């Protein structure tokens, strides 16, 4: 078979990507474009239940078997078929949900996203093309996606969790484009010659391309695509104008904010320290300081009441407490796996942080959002939670303002860059030296795993999760120390 839905969508992003995937796989890099776990609840499976009883065409590596099974199901007048599979001129597709009504059909593509992006339209337009080319009378082409404003209360209400958008008119208007693209792709894929496609927005949108390193190998090591915080459109605009290297950029009209970063990179400058600003920040703090960091998970399908799809649900925190004499205490919380962690976490948090304490977070908007959400849920804890919320200060500010800037921050104020640039050779602050859990997404994966483990395995994972989160707040203690030392 030539094409599938996913290959077609890849080619819509960039035909060279599809070609490289076939002929130069060895230059492909691993890229994780999936940011949210489904936590075992498969959105696709749930969406199918929206339509009542259905017959599922089992996946088979032999696609012809799936196509034959579909034919049989249609001959038997099955009303709802999931993964109904078809091929037209070597172009294959499986339709998530196909509804048969006499000689008319409706097709539904399921997405676990909360919005409809352009690439979904290409996806369903390709399917429509295959089915209508085979002579099927498709009266409706729709996308089923997640309703972000749904809040679970009691049993899951599938009709509220999902939204369905009828896109038939748009899909029909794209049919000429699909036919043309399929023809073009046939010749591109037959050719052994690498297609000539220049770098552009398509390298990062809608998904990061795994061949970027290969395609950008002609660029200087430090180039416009490395500038943190600069909009993609702007990067591409400079690239197309030939303003590519850092030397080019420093002489361009790029804003001073970026010129400063480039200046540091090119000229190996000493750290920039604005003592007055740092003093002002330090003055706003008072002891004991409670360094707070949450870990949270997101689910497309909320497991508990009061949760919306993709809401951040906190399950763990670490709290380092620094006294005026520099001594440290540590408190931590990690919910049991398989339970609703919110209430227990909120109760512990208000016990662990006395009222009117000075609370420090790094990028506090996340911690504030979580605490405000918990305060809205639990009236009896609301006052104490909002007291914590109102007393949070942000350790990121001096770095965001560049009151402290060092070359190795590379224009970023994320703690991922700030910490190693302040402590380049400290193995105790190196997340690579942790085992099992090294970042937030591994922490949330691990939380979901807890309920499946027991005994030594459970103990080991919990310990490593605690170590990871503990390092987050210990790192903040060290970052503040560096600020204090700098003045």
Phi, psi of 325 (to 5 degrees): -80, 5
Q: What is the DSSP letter of 205?
A: S
Closest CB to ligand SF4 among residues 71, 213: 213
Closest CB to ligand SF4 among residues 146, 199: 199
Q: How far apart are CA 128 and CA 140, in angstroms?
A: 9
CB 99 within 8 A of CB 141: no
Phi-psi region of 88 (alpha: psi -120 to 50; beta: other; left: phi over 0): beta
CB 179 within 8 A of CB 126: no
Residues whose CB is less than 8 angstroms from the CB of residue 152 and which lie 6 or more positions away in sequence, other chains included: 161, 302, 303, 304, 305, 306, 307, 308
Closest CB to ligand SF4 among residues 188, 409: 188
In angstroms, give the least distance from the CB of 190 to ligand SF4.
18
Closest CB to ligand SF4 among residues 13, 296: 13
In angstroms, give the least distance from the CB of 143 to ligand SF4.
24
Q: How far apart are CA 482 and CA 470, in angstroms?
A: 19
Q: What is the DSSP letter of 194?
A: P
- What SS3 class is residue 93? strand
Closest CB to ligand SF4 among residues 25, 272: 25
In angstroms, give the least distance from the CB of 33 to ligand SF4.
13
In angstroms, give the least distance from the CB of 200 to ligand SF4.
7
In angstroms, give the least distance from the CB of 30 to ligand SF4.
14
Sites of contact with ligand SF4 (CB under 6 A): 14, 16-17, 20, 197, 199, 202-203, 209, 211-212, 215
In angstroms, give the least distance from the CB of 19 to ligand SF4.
8
Encoding tokens for residue 84? 């109904």
In angstroms, give the least distance from the CB of 217 to ligand SF4.
10
Please spell the DSSP secondary structure of 290-304, one letter per residue. EEEEEEEE--SS--S
CA atoms within 13 Å, Cβ hemisphere of 337: 18
Given the structure tokens 């503990």, which residue do they identify?
Answer: 470
In angstroms, give the least distance from the CB of 186 to ligand SF4.
18
Closest CB to ligand SF4 among residues 239, 333: 239
In angstroms, give the least distance from the CB of 113 to ligand SF4.
21
Return the HEC string of 8-64: HHHHHHCHHHHHHHHHCHHHCCCCCCCCCCCCCCCHHHHHHHCCCCCEECCCCCCHH
Closest CB to ligand SF4 among residues 127, 202: 202
Neighbours of 307 (CB within 10 A): 22
Closest CB to ligand SF4 among residues 64, 201: 201
Closest CB to ligand SF4 among residues 16, 407: 16
Closest CB to ligand SF4 among residues 191, 255: 191
In angstroms, give the least distance from the CB of 10 to ligand SF4.
9
Q: How far apart are CA 457 and CA 336, in angstroms?
A: 14
Closest CB to ligand SF4 among residues 95, 209: 209
In angstroms, give the least distance from the CB of 223 to ligand SF4.
14
Q: How far apart are CA 230 and CA 424, in angstroms?
A: 26
Which of 359, 383, 385, 355 is closest to 370 using CA atoms?
385
* CA 437 to chain centroid: 18
């Amino acid at each position: 078979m030539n094409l599938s839905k996913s290959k077609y969508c890849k080619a819509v992003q960039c035909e060279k990507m599809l070609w490289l995937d076939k002929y130069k796989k060895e230059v492909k890099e691993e890229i994780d474009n999936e940011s949210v776990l489904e936590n075992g609840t498969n959105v696709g499976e749930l969406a199918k239940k929206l339509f009542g009883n259905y017959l599922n065409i089992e996946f088979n590596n032999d696609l012809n078997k799936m196509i034959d099974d579909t034919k049989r199901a249609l001959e038997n007048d099955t009303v709802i078929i999931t993964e109904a599979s078809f091929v037209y001129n070597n172009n294959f597709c499986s339709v998530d949900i196909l509804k048969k009504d006499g000689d008319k059909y409706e097709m539904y593509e399921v997405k676990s996203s909360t919005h409809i992006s352009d690439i979904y339209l290409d996806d369903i337009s390709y399917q429509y093309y295959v089915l209508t080319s085979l002579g099927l009378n498709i009266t409706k082409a729709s996308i089923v996606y997640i309703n972000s404003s749904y809040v679970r209360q009691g049993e899951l209400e599938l009709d509220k969790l999902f939204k369905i958008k009828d896109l038939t008119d748009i899909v029909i208007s794209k049919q000429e484009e699909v036919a043309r693209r399929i023809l073009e792709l046939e010749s591109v894929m037959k050719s052994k010659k690498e297609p000539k496609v220049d770098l552009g927005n398509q390298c990062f949108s809608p998904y990061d391309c795994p061949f970027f390193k290969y395609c950008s190998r002609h660029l200087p090591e430090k180039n416009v695509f490395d500038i943190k915080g600069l909009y993609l459109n702007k990067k591409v605009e400079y690239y197309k104008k030939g303003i590519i290297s850092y030397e080019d950029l420093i002489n361009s009209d790029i804003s001073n904010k970026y010129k400063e970063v480039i200046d540091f990179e090119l000229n190996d400058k000493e750290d920039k320290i604005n003592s007055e600003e740092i003093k002002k920040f330090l003055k706003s703090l008072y002891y004991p300081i409670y360094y707070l960091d949450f870990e949270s998970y997101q689910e497309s399908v909320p497991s508990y009441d009061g949760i919306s799809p993709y809401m951040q649900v906190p399950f763990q925190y670490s709290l380092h407490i620094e006294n005026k004499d520099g001594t440290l205490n540590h408190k931590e919380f990690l919910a049991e796996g398989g339970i609703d962690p919110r209430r227990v976490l909120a109760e512990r948090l208000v016990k662990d942080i006395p009222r009117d304490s000075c609370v420090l977070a790094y990028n506090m908007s996340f911690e504030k959002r979580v605490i405000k959400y918990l305060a809205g849920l639990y009236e009896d804890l609301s006052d104490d939670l909002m007291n914590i919320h109102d007393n949070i200060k942000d350790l990121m500010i001096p770095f965001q303002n560049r009151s402290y800037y060092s070359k190795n921050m590379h224009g970023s104020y994320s703690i991922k860059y700030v910490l190693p640039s302040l402590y380049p050779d400290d193995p105790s602050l190196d997340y690579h030296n942790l085992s099992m859990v090294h970042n937030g997404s591994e922490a949330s994966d691990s939380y979901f795993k807890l309920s499946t483990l027991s005994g030594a395995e459970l103990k080991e994972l919990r310990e490593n999760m605690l170590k990871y989160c503990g390092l987050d707040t210990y790192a903040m203690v060290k970052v503040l120390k560096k600020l204090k030392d700098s003045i």
